[in-house]
Structure 1
Amino acid sequence: MIRTLSVATALACGLWAGTASAQDCSGPPVYFNGEIAETEGELTVKSGKGCAFGINGIPGALKETIISQKPKIGRAGVEGLKPFYVAKPGYQGPDEFAYTFIGMSQYGGPMRITIKRKITVVP
C-alpha cells in the first residue's frame, strides 16, 4: 500500500508557526510504501523562509521525529513531532536534509520512515 505525506496540507511556512504560504514554500506530496521506508522529495523554499512538514497519512503511532541528515546551508529541527526547514537568508541554490519518523506501525511492528528533501532555495 502506498502512503503519502503532504507538504501542502499541514505546512506552516514562515518560521513553522504561521499560515501556509505557497509563495514561501512548495513541493509535491511524498509517497512511501511500507512501515520501513526511505524516499525523496523535492521542495522549493524562498530565501530566509521555512516550512514545517505535516504527518498526514502515516499509519500507526509516532513516538519520535529526528533530523537524520542536517542541511548543508539552512537549518532544520523538530517542533513536537513535525520537522521543519529554514533557508539561510540571502542564499540561493541547492540544499538538502532528511528527517525520520520513528514509531509503531498500525500492525504493532516497528515503523521508521526517512524522507530526504532536495531543496532549491530561490530569491
Structure 2
Amino acid sequence: MWPPAVAVLLVLPVVVSALSARSPPAVLQLQTAKTSAAHPLHASDEVVLWCAPDNLQITIRKAWFQRKRDKKRFDALLSANKKNATLTFPSATIGDAGEYSCELDTQHGRLTSQVHLYGVLFVLLQ
C-alpha cells in the first residue's frame, strides 16, 4: 500500500512592473524684440529635451522625438550607456515650442512619454 500523498500548491503573486518612460518639461526663455518670420526670436540658451525608461535595467536601441503639431520627427542622441535619449535645440525659436512625444525602442518594446516645450517671453520694461 502506498503512503498517502500530500499535494502542495504554491501560489506566488505575479509581479509585473509597467514599462514606461519619463521626461521633464523644458522652457524656452526669450526676451522681447522685434520679430518676423525672417527674424524669429531665439532662446538665450540651448534647449535640451530628454527622456529615459523608468526601469534602469532597460537599454534603448533607438529613440526619436515627434512634434505633435506637425508630426515632424527628430532623431534623438543616445547616451553612451544607452539609458537616456536627448534632443538638443542649439538655437531654439518660439516656433519650436509645443508638445513632443518621445519614442524609445527597447528590448521590451516601444515606450512613449510626452514632453512639453513651453515658450516663455520676458518683456523688459524701461
Between structures 1 and 2, the one with greater strand share: 1
Shorter-chain TM-score: which interval? Answer: 0.3 to 0.5
Structure of larger gyration radius: 2
TM-score by length of 1: 0.46
Higher RCO, 1 vs 2 (CA within 8 Å, ≥6 residues apart): 2
